[in-house]
Structure 1
């Protein structure tokens, strides 16, 4: 008798249906049935009565399942307590971050965290939003800094931080490079480099919607994925690109970054950045990080 067998029995007791119980346990029906049989064989007693249309607990099964629930619940509490203690002892914080946060925000924030909490060890995993959210749900990350998706998983808690300013990356010799600011109209006939929408929907849509709202059609000549690649292509004269302000920190020769002026009634000159973590989970190091972030938020927003 083991915990997996007890969990299978509880699933049957809750659903009174082998197929649904197997699905709940993420098992094939045949494998699920074997677990129940092994449990009955080890006890020397039938726990279930099963026909083609009906599943029910025997009297022995009804008595046994209550004890099984208690054992499984205690085992789950023991595991959760152990993990919490281990987490407190290690004080490791695994942060996922999109490129904006990894290059623009975390270098400013982490020195404050180290001064306030030198005991916290930080591990950073840089990826796109669509790759970070599954890692949060699986427990491989403790917190992530992302572009909030249109559809949000209810298991995740989002905290909007600030909106990043968009600028235009142009070749240094370009006619717009010496402007104090440019408008979408100034770029109306210019070739554009935009991110791949499948991996960077926010950045892609920013460019397309800005042109659409201004009454122009974006003249896209190149799709690229990484900001470093996009800015490098600008430097070779392939085209212009609308990028977050932090990208101006990339050391790419031959590229100028010019502020983008937009009508006052638009908010699409901004790119939203959010912190996100798994709901109903306790993590002292994450809480400490959020406290430091909250204290530095105004300063971070001013430089975004």
Structure 2
């Protein structure tokens, strides 16, 4: 019996869905399934009942998972306590950020942070939310700027910051490039480039839902994973893309970014949150949060 197996069981219990549990743990569903099977084999009993429609716990599973939570929580507390006692804890701050925040928020924020806390070295990692959350839980990051997931791990604290503004990336020679604003209806017949949903559910759903709510069908011409790739594909004329306004800070030529007119109900869909491990003391992280909160209003105006 391993901690990894216990974490897999707890994740499935919390979501009752192998796909979402695997995504939260940054692993493949098949790998998660193997961990559960190994755990059941070592215990000699079945913990989960899995059908094509749902997942549920057996009676033995309900009893076991409560004890498993206690074991995992004790292990997490021990790890957190050890990290807090490291002598270099206060001098290094490891920050994760999704691509738009890395391009738009961090360049505005870090100079102020370094001016106030020149004794703290900052390490910055740009990644997707599904990659950053596991790194927080494992102690490889101290804080991250992410899109808050639908299912949130109780071991983490999520602090809402603001909503990013959506714009349309269009090739410079496209007829819409000269417009000050565009609507979803203006893009009705345009081919679109959208992110892959498993890795970027918020950005993917933003495009698909906007077209659906307008009574239109999104013409997806290309799926791409990284914002840099998406904007680069726009420059080649493959299609248009709805992206966060901070994506305009990416160094890609041949692309114009046009404001997108949205109904009030659709404006708050690109949420940005700061997230960190609950009950983990970290002076450098707290210093960063203070600077972030003090500059939040100014940052929100540029997002």
TM range (shorter): 0.7 to 0.9
Is the 8 Å Cα contact of residues 165 and 267 (structure 2) preserved in structure 1? no
Give the match for residue 298 of structure 2. Answer: 299
Structure 1: how far apart are the matches of 2:204 and 2:81? 44
- How big is the shift at 1:101? 1.2
Q: Pick closer, same or farther for the CA change 1:117–1:188 going to 2, 3 Å.
A: same
Is the 8 Å Cα contact of residues 87 and 283 (structure 1) preserved in structure 2? no
- How big is the shift at 1:263? 1.8
Q: Give matches, 1:1-304, under 5 Å.
A: 83-87=83-87, 90-268=90-268, 270-304=269-303
How many residues end up aligned between the 2 structures?
234
Is the 8 Å Cα contact of residues 90 and 282 (structure 2) preserved in structure 1? no
Structure 2: how far apart are the matches of 1:291 and 1:90? 15
Q: Pick closer, same or farther for the CA change 1:130–1:82 going to 2, 3 Å.
A: closer
Structure 1: how far apart are the matches of 2:282 and 2:161? 20
Structure 2: how far apart are the matches of 1:92 and 1:273? 24
Structure 2: how far apart are the matches of 1:149 and 1:189? 31
Structure 2: how far apart are the matches of 1:134 and 1:245? 27
Larger Rg: 1
- How big is the shift at 1:264? 2.7
Give the match for residue 36 of structure 1. Answer: none
CA deviation string 1:82-107 (max 9, x = no partner): 64242566521111111011111011
Structure 1: how far apart are the matches of 2:83 and 2:223? 44
- How big is the shift at 1:295? 0.4
Structure 1: how far apart are the matches of 2:265 and 2:102? 30
Is the 8 Å Cα contact of residues 83 and 89 (structure 2) preserved in structure 1? no
RMSD: 2.3
Q: Pick closer, same or farther for the CA change 1:175–1:266 going to 2, 3 Å.
A: same
Structure 2: how far apart are the matches of 1:251 and 1:124? 19
- How big is the shift at 1:262? 1.1
Structure 1: how far apart are the matches of 2:118 and 2:302? 25
Instruction: Determine helix, strand or coil for the equivalent of 1:103.
Output: helix
Instruction: Determine helix, strand or coil for the equivalent of 2:144.
Output: strand
Q: Which moved more, 1:246-255 or 1:232-241?
A: 246-255
- How big is the shift at 1:219? 0.4
Structure 2: how far apart are the matches of 1:145 and 1:121? 18
CA deviation string 1:30-66 (max 9, x = no partner): 9xxxxxxxxxxxxxxxxxxxxxxxxxxxxxxxxxxxx
Structure 2: how far apart are the matches of 1:83 and 1:176? 52
- How big is the shift at 1:198? 1.0
- Unmatched tracts of structure 2, length 5 or more: 1-35, 44-73
- How big is the shift at 1:144? 0.7
Instruction: Determine helix, strand or coil for the equivalent of 1:170.
Output: strand
